[in-house]
């Protein structure tokens, strides 16, 4: 299974909580089923810390991390359940308090796809054709891909132009690279077809 892990967790009130807290929390994100997760400290000590000899030290660290995640956090961005991240519901069963809210957030790729579709719909409506066909979506994606290639070519060209030349041979090589990049940029622009209004 997998889960959505947001970078904001590294900048919020968990900062300084320690590696075990982040490891247990990432385990929860990955292993939960609709916001419910099983957390057995002995199992997690083996899975997360490689505790093969059964020492209690690793399990104690895991228990402390779980306890941290279940206690109120007044500095948490979420005020639901007093900022707790986990609520104990059984011997080893916990509910992730904000699972539904975070699961509902779109990933970057999902957001881009949504924006791409909405932009295509807007342009089709603007042209008087309210229907967005697969062909329209493909054409829109091709234009975006070409734009990305053009931006990439410009960035690379800028890097090549601003790189210091160390010898005559290096300078000739740099000029050759600039020429190739200019040709690639022109080719990418021609592939993009007519520009939209």
Predicted local confidence at residue 196, as pLDDT: 44
What pLDDT score was predicted for residue 87? 92
Q: What is the pLDDT of residue 1?
A: 59
Q: Which residues of 38-63 are buried (b: 16+ CB within 10 A; e: fewer)?
A: ebebeebbbebbebeeeeeebbebbb
Angle at 86 between CA 73 and CA 2, to 5 degrees: 125
pLDDT value of position 191: 64
The predicted structure's pLDDT at residue 116? 85
Domain boundaries, the chain: 7-103, 110-191
Mean pLDDT by 10 residues, the chain (197 residues): 70 86 89 90 87 77 93 87 91 89 72 83 76 69 69 63 62 78 75 50
Q: What's the pLDDT at 179?
A: 82
| SS3 assignment, position 48 | helix
Dihedrals phi, psi of 131, to nearest 5 degrees: -95, 135
CATH of 7-103, one of 1.20.120, 1.25.40, 1.10.3470, 1.10.10: 1.10.10
Q: For position 167, what pLDDT does the model report?
A: 66
pTM: 0.53
Q: What pLDDT, on the 0 to 100 scale, is given for residue 13?
A: 83
């Amino acid at each position: 299974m997998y889960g959505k892990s947001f970078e904001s967790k590294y900048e919020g009130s968990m900062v300084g909580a320690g590696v075990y807290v982040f490891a247990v929390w990432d385990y929860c994100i990955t292993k939960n089923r609709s916001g419910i997760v099983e957390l057995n400290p002995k199992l997690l000590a083996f899975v997360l810390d490689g505790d093969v000899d059964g020492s209690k030290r690793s399990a104690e660290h895991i228990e402390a991390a779980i306890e941290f995640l279940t206690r109120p956090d007044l500095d948490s961005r979420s005020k639901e359940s007093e900022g707790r991240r986990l609520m104990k519901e059984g011997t080893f069963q916990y509910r992730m308090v904000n699972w539904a809210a975070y699961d509902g957030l779109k990933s970057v790729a999902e957001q881009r796809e949504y924006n791409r579709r909405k932009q295509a719909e807007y342009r089709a409506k603007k042209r008087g054709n309210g229907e967005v066909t697969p062909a329209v979506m493909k054409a829109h994606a091709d234009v975006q891909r070409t734009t990305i290639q053009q931006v990439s070519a410009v960035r690379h060209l800028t890097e090549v132009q601003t790189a210091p030349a160390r010898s005559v041979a290096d300078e000739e090589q740099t000029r050759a690279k600039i020429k190739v990049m200019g040709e690639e940029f022109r080719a990418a622009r021609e592939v993009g077809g007519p520009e939209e209004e």
